[in-house]
Structure 1
């Protein structure tokens, strides 16, 4: 297997510029660490460690914090246990058509209205609570904040943080600092954990785009580490982390009902996102990888693959920037952020959940409600008559004094 990988996967012309060989980039112990593919093996157990840590964090920290901030969950009616409807709900559709409603009604001996009500309650029952969404946002907020702080601290004194050409000077024989090595390993492990948990996390409208983003990010981090694009890769990760923790903090405040603070923080996030993802990333990082790098070496397959992944991420940034600008327009013209354009796909509760109308064939229920309404109307009428009589007596008693 190792010989096969060396023959097909680790060919020098794929990973190194023309004229370079693996022995040319070997480093001695005193020269520093050179990134090796086997280092990425640690990301898989690290991903499972992140998942376990997240489980502990959500229960010991996130849930108590949500209660302190006033996060409230909507009380939802649980659907009755009806095996035939449950089977149809899981295997066929969550929103049956009219003909399917008629067929299910005949099978279960229920009216169409009851079938529709059952499916509405069942859909609402599966929708994530605000507490669950708060816990997810708080976990990502903590990681992105720590990653951005640590990444900025490790990069601010490096020459390539200020000068793009330093990312490629001496490439590919560039030693990697221990801090940048772990920056890479932790970031990749975290995104692997997000990809493993994507099926159980809150499903959003941009679910497919999020999956593509996670996969592209994992490939980008892994490939850039193996090809020793570490210097420019650290800049890419820092740019992403700079706005991500702002977004997650805005979500936390939104679920807690802190509307004004959330809206203000969202505006700050929008500005940071648009500047970093649409100006800094393409203007500095993409320009450096596409143009500046060619001043030091000629294009090779690794160069094209790395830039392709960066362009995929940039396309996703443009898509999300469009959604954010829509929200900013709503904020400017309506005075508030009415709805998250990336909101949870299954988070909106059906409008009719709390208001149950009478069944078409349920005459007893209708008669009872009609009797209750008539009695309330009669009581209201009596009160109105009594008030009029009282007012009339008061007026009559005052007339002699006025005379």
Structure 2
């Protein structure tokens, strides 16, 4: 009990001078309740179920109808020795390992190399799987962004960030914003749960950092009643995500000219929203209008982490535009799937930014 009381002490979560009594609910006024966030667990499970249903009944037939097809991959001859090494020790053996495996298998070194190359290709995610994943994220981000826009367009603090912190933390929570918060938290929890099964990108570690930072920010900002600020942050981030997923879908369909045009639109929206609006408007008023207290410092640290990721992904996006779209160089994704170089379907570099 003492640990719980210490964790939820008002001096940690609220600005100086404010207490939990200031956020006491009444019949007409509702404030965020931390226990509400427990609903994100069944919410995440429900979203995973809906995603599986959507991919099988909508995305898969849509992809087939539009011409998405997987490349035929060479069959791998069963070999216990090579399979054991592949599973237990690594997918790309070194030269000395190849020599040893060739002797154990009584095969030429070239055939051992070919076996591992084909085996890696066998594990590489199919183009249809990528299309289905992109379709699901497109639907969610598109719905999330325009739903958030519909919820906020008539709010004065959406157009004037100075109003965002007016009378904080005594800002009643509209039920619709509470449900939107819960939906976003459930979605990112579902992404973390499905990471081991989704297409693995080269920036897998950055993805994990991003998801952890996002989940932490949603959880903490809800408990501290920073709903207005949190909604602004989520809307700024959702503004470009659905365009990115749409560009991926076009790429998998091999509609490259349309894909390039959509990707450039994505790049403009991403850079403006993440490198201009987010730091100079949303983050600026967070730093200047809110006094320092433990939770605000924690949120500030995770916002800086997100901004560093924005800069990293912006570099990939700009590099993609100049090297591939404008100069016509060979496409090779800096965020592509692992083992991309083994001849499977290539993917555009920053087209998978987050």
TM interval, short-chain normalised? over 0.9
Instruction: Name the SS for the 2:320 alignment partner.
Output: helix
Q: Which residue of 2 aligns with 1:134?
A: 131
After superposition, the Cα gap between the structure-2 partners of 1:60 and 1:332, relative to the gap in structure 1 and judged at 3 Å, is: closer
Q: CA deviation at 1:349?
A: 2.8
Give 1:225's match in structure 2, choosing from 222, 225, 232.
222
Instruction: Name the SS for the 1:77 alignment partner.
Output: coil
Q: Which residue of 1 aligns with 2:274?
A: 277
* Larger Rg over CA atoms: 1
Q: Which residue of 2 aligns with 1:342?
A: 335
* TM-score, length basis structure 2: 0.94
Q: How does 1:73-92 map to 2 (within 5 A)?
A: 73-92=70-89
Q: Which residue of 1 aligns with 2:14?
A: 16
Q: How does 1:286-301 map to 2 (within 5 A)?
A: 286-293=283-290, 298-301=291-294
Give 1:314's match in structure 2, choosing from 281, 297, 307.
307
CA distance in 1, matches of 2:180, 2:163: 19
Structure 2: runs of 5 or more not aligned: 345-354
CA distance in 2, matches of 1:328, 1:138: 23
Asked if the contact 1:42/1:185 (under 8 Å) is kept, the reply is: yes
Give 1:188's match in structure 2, choosing from 182, 185, 190.
185
After superposition, the Cα gap between the structure-2 partners of 1:185 and 1:336, relative to the gap in structure 1 and judged at 3 Å, is: farther
Structure 1: runs of 5 or more not aligned: 352-403
Give 1:333's match in structure 2, choosing from 320, 326, 329.
326
After superposition, the Cα gap between the structure-2 partners of 1:336 and 1:50, relative to the gap in structure 1 and judged at 3 Å, is: farther
Give 1:239's match in structure 2, choosing from 236, 239, 263.
236
Q: CA deviation at 1:335?
A: 4.4
Q: CA deviation at 1:5?
A: 4.2
CA distance in 1, matches of 2:273, 2:343: 38
After superposition, the Cα gap between the structure-2 partners of 1:86 and 1:217, relative to the gap in structure 1 and judged at 3 Å, is: same
After superposition, the Cα gap between the structure-2 partners of 1:347 and 1:338, relative to the gap in structure 1 and judged at 3 Å, is: closer
* TM-score, length basis structure 1: 0.83
Q: For structure 1, which segment, 196-205 or 184-193, has the greater mean C-alpha deviation from structure 2 after superposition?
A: 196-205
CA distance in 1, matches of 2:43, 2:241: 21
Q: CA deviation at 1:8?
A: 2.3
CA distance in 1, matches of 2:248, 2:4: 46
Asked if the contact 2:181/2:218 (under 8 Å) is kept, the reply is: yes
Q: Which residue of 1 aligns with 2:23?
A: 25
Q: How does 1:2-401 map to 2 (within 5 A)?
A: 3-31=1-29, 33-293=30-290, 298-331=291-324, 333-335=326-328, 338-350=331-343
CA distance in 1, matches of 2:325, 2:341: 24
Asked if the contact 1:43/1:186 (under 8 Å) is kept, the reply is: yes
Asked if the contact 1:203/1:346 (under 8 Å) is kept, the reply is: no
CA deviations on 1:336-360 (whole Å, 9 max, x unpaired) are 7834332222334349xxxxxxxxx
Q: Which runs of 4+ in 1 moved over 3 A?
A: none
Asked if the contact 2:260/2:325 (under 8 Å) is kept, the reply is: no
Q: CA deviation at 1:332?
A: 5.3
Asked if the contact 1:327/1:337 (under 8 Å) is kept, the reply is: no
Instruction: Name the SS for the 1:45 alignment partner.
Output: helix
Instruction: Name the SS for the 2:342 alignment partner.
Output: coil
Asked if the contact 1:128/1:346 (under 8 Å) is kept, the reply is: no
Asked if the contact 1:328/1:337 (under 8 Å) is kept, the reply is: no
